[in-house]
């Protein structure tokens, strides 16, 4: 993927890590394969894309790039829904990885910014699949445009402003 980006566009200036995966695999009886799959997508995939985006910026002397991780509110609190506890652990990792990236970029004396955008449920196939037994959940879900608006906001911040994390919840959401 990054080779094609380099060939077609010279490289990456902005990377938005938006891949995310959840399986209903509780901690006390979940399947290892489901946990591994979530780790591979939610953590390892994000780290690989982050590394490759940074390397692309570094080799082209891009010092004003941005890496945005689409996280989850589950990266900040554990909701009382057993099927999402392992997923929450992967998203807590994204929270830590975003801050770790910010620290590493600072240590490298780079002005590349790192941001985590943490929405609650978003009306997507992901949410509908995970909560198929609760069709009323969509009433509290954000829309995809809400997330893209947050991305636009982050990217429009002045170069001297580091937005570390944005948490997005619906105004009608209970918790």
150 contacts 168 by C-beta, under 8 angstroms: yes
119 in a domain, yes or no? yes
Asked if 87 is an active-site residue, the reply is: yes
Element (H, E) at 69: strand 66-70
Residue 1 pLDDT > 70: yes
Catalytic residue among 54, 87, 92, 131: 87
More confident: 89 or 2: 89
State the total domains in the chain.
Answer: 1
Average pLDDT, the chain: 91
Q: Is pLDDT of 155 > 80?
A: yes
Q: Give dist(CA 102, CA 133) in Å, integer.
A: 39
pTM of the full structure:
0.90
CATH number at residue 97: 3.40.50.720
Give the range of the structural domain holding residue 103, as residue numbers without chain letter. Answer: 2-18+27-168
């Amino acid at each position: 993927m990054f080779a094609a980006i380099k060939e077609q566009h010279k490289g990456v200036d902005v990377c938005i890590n938006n891949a995310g995966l959840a399986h209903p695999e509780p901690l006390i009886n979940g399947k290892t394969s489901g946990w591994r799959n979530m780790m591979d997508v939610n953590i390892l995939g994000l780290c690989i894309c982050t590394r490759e985006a940074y390397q692309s910026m570094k080799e082209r002397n891009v010092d004003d790039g941005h890496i945005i991780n689409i996280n989850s509110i589950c990266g900040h609190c554990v909701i009382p829904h057993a099927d999402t506890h392992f997923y929450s652990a992967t998203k807590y990792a994204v929270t830590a990885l975003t801050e770790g990236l910010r620290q590493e970029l600072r240590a490298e004396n780079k002005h590349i910014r790192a941001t985590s955008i943490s929405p609650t449920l978003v009306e997507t196939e992901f949410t509908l699949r995970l909560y198929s037994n609760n069709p009323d959940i969509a009433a509290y879900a954000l829309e995809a445009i809400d997330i893209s608006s947050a991305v636009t906001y982050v990217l429009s911040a002045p170069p001297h402003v580091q937005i570390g994390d944005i948490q997005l919840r619906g105004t009608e959401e209970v918790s």
